[in-house]
């Protein structure tokens, strides 16, 4: 629809229409009855990507970050990001800072995440990026790791990572750019979080040669979005490439960590997007399959079976999280009214419910956009999203009895 409007309506008139629709959208957004908002009148409060849970194991503490109020790329002048948490048992929780990091972006922060009662996050020295393991309550730095981390297994004592400078080159808004002249290592790395030992799993050269897609010739390739299975036996990563025509394509690569030669590509269509694990050997993914087009699909990595998920309801890309009661929490990108919807899909009952609709201003686009990125607590009764409030990012926690609009 958007592409059609661009072709038939003059640019200036289209801008006027956008502003008008956005103004209407701001007045009719739907918020849940019961929600906590965490904001700062002089800064932006946000968490980042949906694949990391900001809630502590006991659901008491909520990780958050505080960024400068100016909504511009942090890669221009590298301001510090404050790392902190909220105590949800307090009557009026306040942001409690425990560290800072200059290696961050609006989409994923600095990959701040819980590791037991401690936290992991990326930062840098004068020479390289590192990952820090720290107690957020005492401030004690327990150890540092020689490479930054993308994803950590909380039960397997290991983490995975990629080249963040390379990622920034190919997809601004996801990587870091402090060391532009550093040697590129387009490799997936494994870090033992007990010993600090770091080893390569596979390189981009190996992945490019594995069941190559027809559009890969002379393309620029990179990795993004590493995700470890719930019990830490498998991982997945997106392999992306940009062809001579400037079009970006993608596919999902999975690997068994006990057998690093067990590489597979459940979707090699050239279009995959957001994902979540629905079991140790099962993945839910929004992408394209020749038989059904763009949909949410459920992939069984053992049987190699693929099934459409929510065929009559889930037709838009979003950021999904699977809950054990066979519920999928996801969101949408802004529509013409600049509304981003928070959705709850019951897989067994095949029913979809809109939990909220938040307005996002027109200037939150591209690298500085603010997606909802819904994250569910460990009890499944609270959802945390990033929203825009009074022109700045804020975090909103929706409680279960406030789900119904």
DSSP for 90-115, please give it: SSS---EEEEEES--BTTTBT--EEE
What is the pLDDT confidence band of residue 180, given thresholds at 50, 70 and 90? confident
CA atoms of 226 and 191, how far apart (whole Å): 13
H-helix or E-strand containing 26? helix 11-27
Q: What angle (nearest 5°) sits at the alpha carbon of residue 219, between those of residues 216 and 225?
A: 85
What is the pLDDT confidence band of residue 404, given thresholds at 50, 70 and 90? very low
The pLDDT tens digits of the residues spanning 256-269 come to 998 877 899 999 99
Mean pLDDT within 329-352: 95
What's the pLDDT score for residue 405?
35
More confident residue, 206 or 155: 206
Share of the chain above pLDDT 90, in %: 82
159-181 b/e (C-beta count within 10 Å ≥ 16 → b):
bbbbbbbbbbebbebbbbbbeee
Asked if residue 14 has pLDDT above 60, the reply is no
Which of 20-34, 45-59, 390-404 shows the lowest per-residue confidence on average (mean pLDDT)?
20-34
What is the pLDDT confidence band of residue 182, given thresholds at 50, 70 and 90? confident
What is the pLDDT confidence band of residue 30, given thresholds at 50, 70 and 90? low
Mean pLDDT within 335-353: 94
What's the pLDDT score for residue 339?
92
Looking at the DSSP bridge assignments, the partners of residue 286 are 296
Question: If we measure between CA atoms, which residue out of 83, 52, 82 comes closest to residue 159?
Answer: 52
- Structural domains of the chain, ranges and CATH numbers in brackets: 2-402 (2.130.10.10)
Would you report the helix, strand and coil content of the chain in percent, each value rounded to 5?
10, 45, 45
CA atoms of 356 and 366, how far apart (whole Å): 23
- Please give the structure tokens belonging to residue 378: 């460990």
Instruction: Report whether 222 contacts 237 (CB < 8 A).
Output: no
- Please give the structure tokens belonging to residue 262: 């067990």
Tell me the pTM: 0.92
3-state secondary structure of 266: strand
For 229, 265, 368, 382, 395, the CA distances from 371, given in Å and listed in that order, are: 24, 28, 10, 18, 11
CA atoms of 329 and 276, how far apart (whole Å): 10
Please give the mean pLDDT across all residues of the chain: 91
What is the pLDDT confidence band of residue 33, given thresholds at 50, 70 and 90? low
Mean pLDDT within 174-196: 91
The pLDDT tens digits of the residues spanning 72-103 come to 999 988 999 999 999 999 999 999 999 999 99
CA atoms of 96 and 61, how far apart (whole Å): 11
For 108, 147, 153, 225, the CA distances from 150, given in Å and listed in that order, are: 10, 10, 10, 8
CA atoms of 169 and 400, how far apart (whole Å): 41
The pLDDT tens digits of the residues spanning 125-163 come to 999 999 999 999 999 999 999 999 999 997 779 999 999
H-helix or E-strand containing 287? strand 282-289
């Amino acid at each position: 629809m958007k592409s059609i409007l661009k072709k038939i309506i003059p640019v200036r008139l289209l801008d006027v229409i956008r502003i008008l629709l956005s103004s209407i959208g701001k007045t009719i957004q739907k918020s849940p009855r019961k929600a906590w908002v965490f904001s700062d009148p002089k800064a932006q409060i946000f968490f980042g990507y949906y694949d990391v849970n900001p809630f502590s194991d006991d659901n008491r503490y909520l990780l958050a970050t505080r960024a400068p109020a100016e909504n511009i790329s942090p890669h221009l002048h590298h301001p510090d990001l404050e790392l902190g948490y909220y105590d949800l048992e307090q009557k009026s929780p306040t942001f409690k800072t425990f560290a800072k990091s200059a290696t961050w972006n609006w989409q994923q922060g600095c990959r701040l995440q819980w590791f037991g009662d401690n936290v992991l996050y990326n930062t840098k020295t004068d020479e390289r990026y590192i990952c820090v393991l720290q107690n957020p309550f005492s401030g004690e730095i327990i150890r540092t790791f020689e490479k930054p981390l993308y994803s950590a297994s909380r039960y397997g004592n290991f983490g995975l990572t990629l080249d963040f400078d390379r990622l920034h080159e190919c997809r601004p808004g996801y990587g870091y750019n402090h060391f532009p002249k550093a040697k590129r290592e387009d490799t997936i790395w494994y870090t033992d979080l007990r010993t600090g030992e770091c080893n390569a799993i596979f390189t981009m050269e190996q992945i490019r040669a594995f069941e190559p897609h027809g559009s890969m010739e002379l393309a620029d390739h990179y990795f993004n979005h590493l995700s470890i299975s719930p019990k830490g036996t498998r991982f997945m990563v997106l392999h992306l490439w940009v062809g001579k025509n400037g079009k970006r394509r993608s596919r999902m690569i999975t690997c068994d960590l006990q057998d690093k030669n067990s590489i597979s590509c459940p979707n090699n269509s050239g279009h995959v997007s957001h994902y979540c694990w629905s079991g140790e050997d099962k993945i839910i993914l929004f992408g394209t399959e020749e038989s059904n087009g763009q949909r949410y699909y459920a992939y069984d990595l053992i049987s190699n079976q693929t099934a459409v998920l929510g065929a009559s309801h889930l037709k838009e890309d979003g950021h999904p999280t699977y809950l054990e009661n066979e519920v999928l929490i996801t969101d949408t990108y802004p529509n013409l009214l600049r509304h981003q919807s928070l959705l709850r899909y019951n897989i067994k009952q095949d029913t979809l419910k809109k939990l909220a609709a938040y307005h996002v201003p027109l200037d939150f686009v591209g690298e500085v956009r603010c997606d909802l990125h819904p994250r569910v607590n460990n009890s499944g009764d609270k959802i945390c999203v990033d929203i825009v409030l009074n022109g700045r990012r804020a975090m909103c926690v929706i409680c279960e009895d406030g789900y119904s609009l």
